[in-house]
């Protein structure tokens, strides 16, 4: 029975791999590049826009203004206030979402083929002609301020803020996208309009679409959607910086019986030739849930936590290798010692062939499962563009994973993992640490 199931699973995954989406690249009549996967089986379209720049391009004295602005895009546009805009969107059975991140602003839309023209017009209005009404501004300001106050009471957020501030002291990455109570209080309607003019520009947009639409139709749709946005904004893009972390432990006093620990050091850029090897190594160390080394050593063998993980924080202008764990105040010292030892083991000894084989099997088998609908595929396509990947990446990705040799793994393990440089931020009241 088990063997039969395994055979079925392998066959299923193989069929998925063969059915990976066919990506078409195009340039709209107005000159905007776009990626498309046509699928006429279901009459709807998922559309993703990415505006390169994100919150990292905003003035530091107005930190949070970009997220503020993006939160207002669905609060009314043209002659529609927030309620009228929401009703119009619901009548079309369309969904829009607007997001802000350090490196990129996102706009996501889903709409039925029959309502395409009306949906795109509504989305266009929200992008090019937002109202920024005074009452909406104050409502969103209150929401952001509430979020900032909530973060100040959350150990994970406190640890993250402290870690980022140490890693990037003179860079936008070193402060929160939400801003501070002081910067948000100072934001005016004019500041919001300026953030809109500089953040949403045609020269920094990436476009991906999946669904019931042809390349010619998409070209017309995109130009219609974006034509009234500024061509370019008067901004200076951030520069790549190495982290400024110093090894050791920092304690932030916080009244709780359990400490939150954020740890890490320098990582590896996404475009680095060794990234796939680093990706596999992180999966083995702390990225594979209960199967990871950290989970086995910290939770299963010693019972120091309910969960621990590590991750590659590879961004446009800085890269870190990080992890997080929560443990009782009286077991913090032991937990830090175990993590450091596991870091040292993988640096000195690498991994076993069995671990590497298992990691490859999981990561290659799980990859096709990501492509499970128009929305997820459109999101993947937009992400690929943002990372500078070519359209054939989805066809070659698993081959790149499988091509990593044991020699590659051992070499990159020595390069990537640096136990002597680990930085630990502890939020809580740990025993045995000052």
The DSSP code for 33 is: E
pLDDT given at position 235:
83
pLDDT given at position 8:
42
List, for residues 75-105, the tens digit of each pLDDT value.
999 899 999 999 999 999 999 999 999 999 9
In angstroms, the CA 378 to CA 91 distance is: 24
The domain ranges of the chain are 21-226, 248-428
Residue with structure tokens 């070209």? 219
In angstroms, the CA 227 to CA 318 distance is: 33
3-state secondary structure 183-207: HHHHCCHHHHHHHHHHHCCHHHEEE
pLDDT given at position 234:
76
Domain 21-226: which topology?
Cytochrome Bc1 Complex; Chain A, domain 1 (3.30.830)
pLDDT given at position 134:
95
Same fold for the domain at 21-226 and the one at 248-428?
Answer: yes
CATH value of 248-428 in 3.90.120.10, 3.40.190.10, 3.30.830.10, 3.40.710.10? 3.30.830.10
Angle between helices 82-91 and 116-128 (to 10 degrees): 160
Helix (H) or strand (E) holding 84: helix 82-91
Q: How many beta carbons lie within 10 A of that of residue 372, not counting itself?
A: 10
CA 412 centroid distance within chain: 24
Give the chain's radius of gyration (CA, Å). 24
From the first residue on, what is the mean pLDDT of each consecutive set of 10 residues in the chain (434 residues)? 42 51 96 97 97 94 96 94 95 96 97 97 97 96 97 97 96 94 97 96 97 97 96 85 96 96 97 97 93 95 96 95 98 98 97 97 96 96 96 96 97 97 98 84
Q: The whole model's pTM is what?
A: 0.92
């Amino acid at each position: 029975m088990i063997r039969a199931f395994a055979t079925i699973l392998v066959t299923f995954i193989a069929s998925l791999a063969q059915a990976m989406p066919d990506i078409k690249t195009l340039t709209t009549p107005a000159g905007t590049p776009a990626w498309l996967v046509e699928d006429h089986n279901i009459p709807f379209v998922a559309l993703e826009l990415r505006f390169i720049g994100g919150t990292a391009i905003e003035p530091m004295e107005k930190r949070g203004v970009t997220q503020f602005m993006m939160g207002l895009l669905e609060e009314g546009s043209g002659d529609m206030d927030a309620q009228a805009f929401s009703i119009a969107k619901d009548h079309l059975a369309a969904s829009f979402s607007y997001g802000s991140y350090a490196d990129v602003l996102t706009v996501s839309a889903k709409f039925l083929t029959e309502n395409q023209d009306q949906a795109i017009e509504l989305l266009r209005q929200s992008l090019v002609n937002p109202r920024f009404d005074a009452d909406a501004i104050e409502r969103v300001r209150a929401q952001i301020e509430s979020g900032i106050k909530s973060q100040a009471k959350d150990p994970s957020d406190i640890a993250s803020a402290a870690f980022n501030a140490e890693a990037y002291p003179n860079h936008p990455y070193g402060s929160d996208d939400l801003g501070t109570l002081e910067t948000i209080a100072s934001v005016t309607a004019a500041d919001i309009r300026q953030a809109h003019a500089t953040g949403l520009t045609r020269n920094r947009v990436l476009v991906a679409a999946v669904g019931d639409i042809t390349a010619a139709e998409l070209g017309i749709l995109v130009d219609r959607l974006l034509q009234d946005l500024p061509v370019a904004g008067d901004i200076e893009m951030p520069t790549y910086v190495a982290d400024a972390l110093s090894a050791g432990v920092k304690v932030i006093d916080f009244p709780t019986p359990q400490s939150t620990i954020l740890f890490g050091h320098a990582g590896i850029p996404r475009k680095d030739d060794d990234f796939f090897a680093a990706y596999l190594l992180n999966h083995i160390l702390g990225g594979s849930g209960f199967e990871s080394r950290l989970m086995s050593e910290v939770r299963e063998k010693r019972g120091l936590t309910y969960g621990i993980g590590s991750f590659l924080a590879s961004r446009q202008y800085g890269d870190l290798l990080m992890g997080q764990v929560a443990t009782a105040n009286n077991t913090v010292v032991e937990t830090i010692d175990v993590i450091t030892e596991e870091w040292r083991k993988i640096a000195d000894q690498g991994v076993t062939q069995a671990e590497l084989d298992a990691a490859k099997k999981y990561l290659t088998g799980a990859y096709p499962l990501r492509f499970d609908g128009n929305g997820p595929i459109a999101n993947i396509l937009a992400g690929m563009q943002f990372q500078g990947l070519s359209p054939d990446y989805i066809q070659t990705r698993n081959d790149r994973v499988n091509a990593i040799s044991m020699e590659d793994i051992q070499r990159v393990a020595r390069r990537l993992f640096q136990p002597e440089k680990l930085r630990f931020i502890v939020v809580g009241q740990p025993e045995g640490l000052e």
